Structure 1
Amino acid sequence: MSKPKQPDGPVLVVNAGSSSIKTALFGSSLRELLRIEATGIGDDEEGRITCAGESRDMALCDHTAALTEILSAMVAYGVAVGDLSAAAHRVVHGGPDLSRSLRITPQVRGKIAACIPLAPLHNPHNLAAIDAITAAMPDLPQCASFDTAFHATNPPVAYRYALPGTPETAGLRRYGFHGISYGAMVQNWKEVTGAPLPNRLLAMHLGNGASLCAIHKGRSVATTMGFSPLGGLTMGTRVGEIDAGAVLHLARQIGIDAAEDLLQTRAGLLGLSGISADMRRVQAAATPAATFARDHVCYWITRQAGSMISAMGGLDGIAFTGGIGENDTAMRKEVLANLLWTGNVPSWVIPAAEERHIAEQALIALKEAPQP
Structure 2
Amino acid sequence: MADVILVLNAGSSSLKFGLYEIGDGDEPQARSKGQVEDIDEAPRLVVKDAAGATVADEPWPDGAAQPGASVSKLIAWIEGGLGTDTLVAAGHRIVHGGREFSAPCRLDDRTIEALEALTPLAPLHQPKSLAPVRALKRLRPDLPQFGCFDTAFHHRLEPPVSRYAIPRAWEERGVRRYGFHGLSYEHVAHRLDRMSPDLSAKRTVVAHLGNGASLCAMRHGRSVDTSMGFTALDGLMMGTRCGAIDPGVLLYLQRTGGLSVAEVERLLYRESGLLGVSGVSSDMQTLLQSGDPHAAEAVDLFVHMAVREIAAMAASLEGLECLVFTGGIGERSAEVRLRICDRLGWLGVRIDRAANLLNAERIQTSDSLSKILVIAADEEAAMVRRVRPLACR
How does the TM-score come out when normalised to structure 2?
0.87
Counterpart of 1:32 in 2: which secondary structure?
A: strand
Q: Alignment partner for residue 383 of structure 2, among 347, 355, 358?
A: 358
Shift of 1:180: 0.4
Q: Which runs of 4+ in 1 moved over 6 A?
A: none
Aligned: 1:290 with 2:295:
yes
Instruction: Note if contact 1:298-1:335 (Cα within 8 Å) is conserved in structure 2.
Output: yes
Aligned: 1:15 with 2:9:
yes
Amino acid at match of 1:75: E
Aligned: 1:127 with 2:130:
yes
Instruction: Note if contact 2:279-2:294 (Cα within 8 Å) is conserved in structure 1.
Output: yes
Gaps of 5+ in 1: 1-6
Q: Distance in 1 between matches of 2:12 and 2:293?
A: 31
Q: Distance in 1 between matches of 2:35 and 2:107?
A: 23
- Deviation sequence 1:97-120 (CA, Å, 0-9, x none): 111111212222122111111011
Query: 2:39 maps to what in 1?
Result: 41
Structure 2 matches for 1:5-154, cutoff 5 A? 7-28=1-22, 29-43=27-41, 46-52=42-48, 53=54, 54-57=56-59, 58-59=61-62, 60-76=64-80, 78-79=81-82, 83-154=86-157
Amino acid at match of 1:143: F
Shift of 1:236: 0.3
Q: Alignment partner for residue 208 of structure 1, among 194, 206, 211?
A: 211
Instruction: Note if contact 2:224-2:316 (Cα within 8 Å) is conserved in structure 1.
Output: yes
Structure 2 matches for 1:204-353, cutoff 5 A? 204-252=207-255, 253=257, 254-343=259-348, 344-353=369-378
Shift of 1:364: 2.5
Compare 18-27 and 166-175 and name the one that shifted more.
166-175
How does the TM-score come out when normalised to structure 1?
0.92
Compare 32-41 and 138-147 and name the one that shifted more.
32-41
Amino acid at match of 1:101: P
- Deviation sequence 1:73-114 (CA, Å, 0-9, x none): 2234x2159810100000000001111111212222122111
Q: Distance in 1 between matches of 2:308 and 2:125?
A: 27
Counterpart of 2:233 in 1: which secondary structure?
A: coil
Shift of 1:229: 0.6
Counterpart of 2:3 in 1: which secondary structure?
A: coil
Q: Distance in 1 between matches of 2:254 and 2:180?
A: 25
Describe the shift of the 1:167–1:320 C-alpha distance in structure 2 as closer, same or farther (beyond 3 A): closer
Q: Distance in 2 between matches of 1:18 and 1:80?
A: 32
Describe the shift of the 1:168–1:158 C-alpha distance in structure 2 as closer, same or farther (beyond 3 A): closer
Compare 54-63 and 296-305 and name the one that shifted more.
54-63
Q: Distance in 2 between matches of 1:16 and 1:346?
A: 33
Q: Distance in 1 between matches of 2:36 and 2:145?
A: 20
Shift of 1:287: 1.7
Gaps of 5+ in 2: 49-53, 349-368
Q: Distance in 1 between matches of 2:247 and 2:282?
A: 24
| Alignment length (residue pairs) | 359
Q: Distance in 1 between matches of 2:236 and 2:243?
A: 5
Shift of 1:367: 5.2
